Structure 1
């Protein structure tokens, strides 16, 4: 099949149309999370439901299905075209099982749920969200029920975000991590805590934003194809082939929060901006999975952004921006403060060492909701109990408990969190492979030169988009399958050095 083939031309036209409709819906969602007036939320929910309905109708058009069937029988497909058709066929088969009316109802419910959450969280009113979450759980179970080939509802949702991964595999990875991290966290908790008092001083919002944006320009984030805005819960979104936006949030008494939110989301954006031009607007034109995507964001946030080399490069700049706030602070103190380990209540504020315990807690709660083991009305209490067990903490209210994350309040329960920890595991594997291919990356970072690291990631991960399955991509890039050992070795080495552990 050649790209001038009329059949292929029609397929690519349809794929681009679906991508554009997805971009329009993403634009509506981005606006809802950034600039939408409060009174406009109900109308926005109708708009997103309408676009979703149109997109679903086009994605399930019988003529499109026939076109995929015919193209799939041809013997002149390139490997890229075969993968495109395979993903398109999978998407079509799954989409045709969902009734259009059901998709519209579920989408509208998600918009209404998000709007309710933005009011319920500051009011500490989980009771208001209980009937909404019960409806969300019902929609989620109904949705998964259309795919009986999956052993559990969680298997379906995991496969949607991380192709080929199962609940049993995630459970096993999380078990290995828990066994290794709990004692390591306990060791670090007994060590002397670094100085952090200077982080509580006043850091003006605009200066924080300017400082962070300067760093991600150095990383390679292209502001001609993106922008950064403020929101409740930071995220990255692709609105079009050359429109990849990020958001952050700012606390004027904590410059670390905005900085690492910006670095994290820029890592997602670097992945999307790095996808090969010829894949844009096709089934290959985006990151392949939640875990691989998260590996990029966590790599740039943590392995780069919290490294000693990073602060050697940027502490002087930060002190120039905030001379009074940092006049009595050393580079090493800033490095240690950016890596402080503390059992905390907030996932997005958590350090590398405890972060996965936050994710494991959420994963197990949503798994139990989907299995029927846990009722929505008991979710807040179950949250508090799990935090007490896993982190030895109890939130004073539901604001920092079950209401803190937006994910379940977008309208779906299932597959929301596991990718974060898979990303942590993968980012260590990718970075180790990049270092083997480019010895001396730490020196590059200290010189603000990210070209070799970004170049390796672009060549081996980013440009491929969804060309390969996550497992195939990992094997090609690193020469090995999924393994927790590189990540655990990284954590043990780093925190033993920082905290003087034996």
Structure 2
């Protein structure tokens, strides 16, 4: 891309957002709690500077000048569209609101950690009330069509509407609820051995090895531990992941790492030509992120974690390595026993550790709560009770602590109301992408069975990853699969998998 006044402005904007990401990574991995207030101020200052660039007359003039060019590439056209939408957006959003959010979430995240550690929702409640109030003011400022929630989901999944979300959830419930009942009534495979002692140092070694094997480049990344796993991109040359290791439960760290590595593979394989452009930036959330949307991003993490990482062929290749990593711990457990155990379905309280069959109910619960908070039908003070009632209705269990219930996710403390639908969208899109890959690459299953993950990664890079934010989610789906959002491949996959694993 040629060097112009606009590319220079956008490059400065990109640098600012990359630094914000770096400060956020540090806040979640190494920063002392006492620094949270000043860190919030630092991020608020940078967010304000980014907004000032977007709203500057120089920025508008540079964009207008480039839009006169009749010979624009697709990347330039899409970049211009994104920048014009960002200008229109920030003209509606008061700068004070952006600063207020940056300052608020910095201290809210620390309050959430304290509340979680002490199992006391009331310590986090006043911060969440302020966040909800702020998000309502934000929704009123930017406007929405059907429901204030749409003003928030747009940041994470452009074009997503509440009616479309309700239709998708109804489609999922119609087939998943009966399947869950059948599976949970069947004899369960033993999984007690997954809770034996797995030293953290060896878990890290194995997780690092497997993440590298599926395509995460540690020359351009690193693995750290944190309260809640995440991936963050500073540039495509510096994409970091975090996980949490539980010495008494192998699944948490192992599959958490594969999940975050899936996100990171996306960011590492965006075309270098898009570096420093608007097509690697979330201009609404003021983050550096190159994925088409959070849902498309989740399609990659869930694909690598579940479609690959929990499959029988994956462990046919790597179970001996796992046994060798933990000498004597799993010598009495066969490959088949291990594979059935890591795919055991049962009602559970923790979303990030939920099995594939029950996972989407955790998402539906949170989306229902977020919609209620945004339209005022639900109060923050009532969340623990509402949470317990709904998880009981969906999965037949109740949390005994706030930490295992309403306090388990970091998202609300970061102001990320509206992000949760993207996890289920990711499951659905991931299955659509996998079906397309299998159809277009007849040898794919054989390659995966041989432990060769490059063909899948290359197909994903060619069709999805390299494009960054060039295409909107629905455009990308249509280009790659020939269809819009369709839960059928996902539901077919779950039914086939769990009727094979369970005697039903």
TM range (shorter): over 0.9
Query: What CA deviation, in whole Å up to 9, does each residue of 1:40-80 have, x standing for no partner?
Result: 22221221112112222112212212222332243221222
Confirm or deny that 1:302 pairs with 2:314.
no
1:12: how far off?
Answer: 1.3
1:244 is paired with a residue of what secondary structure?
strand
1:109 corresponds to which residue? 104
Match of 1:189 among 184, 187, 202: 184
Give me the whole-angstrom Cα distance separating, in 2, the residues matched to 1:45 and 1:148: 27
Partners of 2:219 and 2:84 in 1: CA distance = 34
| 1:13-52 paired onto structure 2 within 5 Å | 13-52=8-47
Per the alignment, residue 82 of structure 1 pairs with 77
Moved more, 228-237 or 42-51: 42-51
Deviation at 1:235, TM superposition (A): 0.3
- SS of residue in 2 equivalent to 1:329: coil
From the superposition, tell whether residues 441 and 69 of structure 1 become closer, same or farther in structure 2 (CA, over 3 Å): same
Partner of 1:221: helix, strand, or coil? coil
The structural deviation recorded for 1:446 is 2.7
1:194-237 deviations in whole A, cap 9, x for unaligned? 11121111111010011011111111111111111000000000
Where does residue 199 of structure 2 map in the other structure?
204
CA distance in 2, matches of 1:390, 1:149: 30
The aligned counterpart of 1:126 is: 121
Deviation at 1:399, TM superposition (A): 1.0
What is the match of residue 429 of structure 1? 432
Which runs of no fewer than 5 residues in structure 1 stay unpaired? none
Partner of 1:396: helix, strand, or coil?
coil
Match of 1:230 among 225, 236, 243: 225
CA–CA distance in structure 2, aligned partners of residues 464 and 240 of structure 1: 15
Alignment gaps of 5+ in structure 2? 281-289
1:496 aligns with 2:491: no
**Structure-1 separation of matches of 2:182 and 2:140:** 44
Alpha-carbon separation, structure 2, partners of 1:160 and 1:66: 25
Instruction: Look up the SS of the partner of 2:228 in the other structure.
Output: coil
Query: Corresponding residue for 1:359?
Result: 363
What is residue 158 of structure 1 aligned with on the other side?
A: 153
1:161-203 deviation per Cα after TM superposition (whole angstroms, max 9, x unaligned): 1111211111110111011111101100011111112111111
CA distance in 2, matches of 1:486, 1:46: 46
CA contact (8 A) 1:161 1:289 kept: yes
What SS does the aligned partner of 1:122 have? helix
Checking the alignment, whether the CA contact within 8 Å between 1:212 and 1:263 is kept in structure 2 is yes
Q: Which moved more, 1:364-373 or 1:445-454?
A: 445-454
Q: Is the 8 A contact 2:146 2:162 kept in 1?
A: no
Match of 1:332 in 2: 336
Q: Secondary structure at the residue paired with 1:247?
A: strand
Give CA deviations for 1:7-54 in whole Å, capped at 9, x if unaligned. Answer: x62211111111111111111110111111122222212211121122
SS at match of 1:228: strand
Contact 2:125 2:381 in 1 (8 A): yes
The answer to whether the Cα contact below 8 Å between 1:114 and 1:411 also exists between their aligned partners in 2 is no
Is 1:460 aligned to 2:467, yes or no? Answer: no
Measured against aligned partners, the alpha-carbon deviations of 1:474-501 in whole angstroms (never above 9, x if no partner) come to 1111111110100000000000000022
Q: Deviations over 1:399-418 (max 9, x none)?
A: 111111110111343x1200
- CA separation in 2, counterparts of 1:469 and 1:49? 28
Q: Secondary structure at the match of 1:227?
A: strand
Within the candidate set 381, 386, 397, 2:385 is matched to 381
Q: Do 1:387 and 1:393's aligned partners in 2 also have CA atoms closer than 8 Å?
A: yes
Report if aligned partners of 1:408, 1:416 keep a CA contact under 8 Å in 2: no
C-alpha offsets along residues 329-368 of structure 1, whole Å, 9 cap, x if unaligned?
1111111111010101110110000000000010011001
In structure 2, the partner of 1:99 is: 94
Instruction: Give CA deviations for 1:275-319 in whole Å, capped at 9, x if unaligned.
Output: 001011112121010110000000000000000101101101101
Q: In the alignment, what sits opposite 2:284? A: none
Match of 1:276 in 2: 271
Q: Counterpart of 1:272 in 2: which secondary structure?
A: helix
- Per mean C-alpha deviation after superposition, the further-off stretch among 420-429 and 72-81 is 72-81
> Secondary structure of 1:193's partner?
coil
Instruction: Kindly provide the CA deviation profile for residues 380-401 of structure 1, in whole angstroms up to 9, marking residues without a partner as x.
Output: 1111111111111110011111
- Is the 8 Å Cα contact of residues 188 and 341 (structure 1) preserved in structure 2? yes
Q: CA–CA distance in 2 between the matches of 1:21 and 1:55?
A: 7
Q: Which residue of 2 aligns with 1:318?
A: 322
Q: Give the counterpart of 1:419 among 408, 417, 422.
A: 422
User: Per-residue displacement from partner, 1:253-294 (whole Å, max 9, x unpaired)?
Assistant: 111110000000000001111100101111212101011000
Partner of 1:484: 487
Contact 1:137–1:412, Cα closer than 8 Å, also in 2: no
What CA deviation, in whole Å up to 9, does each residue of 1:61-108 have, x standing for no partner? Answer: 122122223322432212221111001111121122222222111110
Q: How does 1:434-453 map to 2 (within 5 A)?
A: 434-453=437-456
Query: Pairwise CA RMSD of aligned residues?
Result: 1.2
Structure 1 residue matching 2:198: 3-state secondary structure: coil
SS at match of 1:340: coil
1:431-487 per-position Cα deviation (integer Å, ceiling 9, x unaligned): 111111112423322322111111110000000111111111111111111101000
CA contact (8 A) 1:111 1:411 kept: no
In 1, the alpha carbon distance for the partners of 2:222 and 2:209 equals: 13
**TM-score, structure 2 length as denominator?**
0.96
Residue 406 (1) aligns with residue 410 (2): yes
Q: Residues of 1 paired with 2:42 and 2:71: CA distance? A: 41
Question: Equivalent residue of 2:406, what SS?
Answer: coil
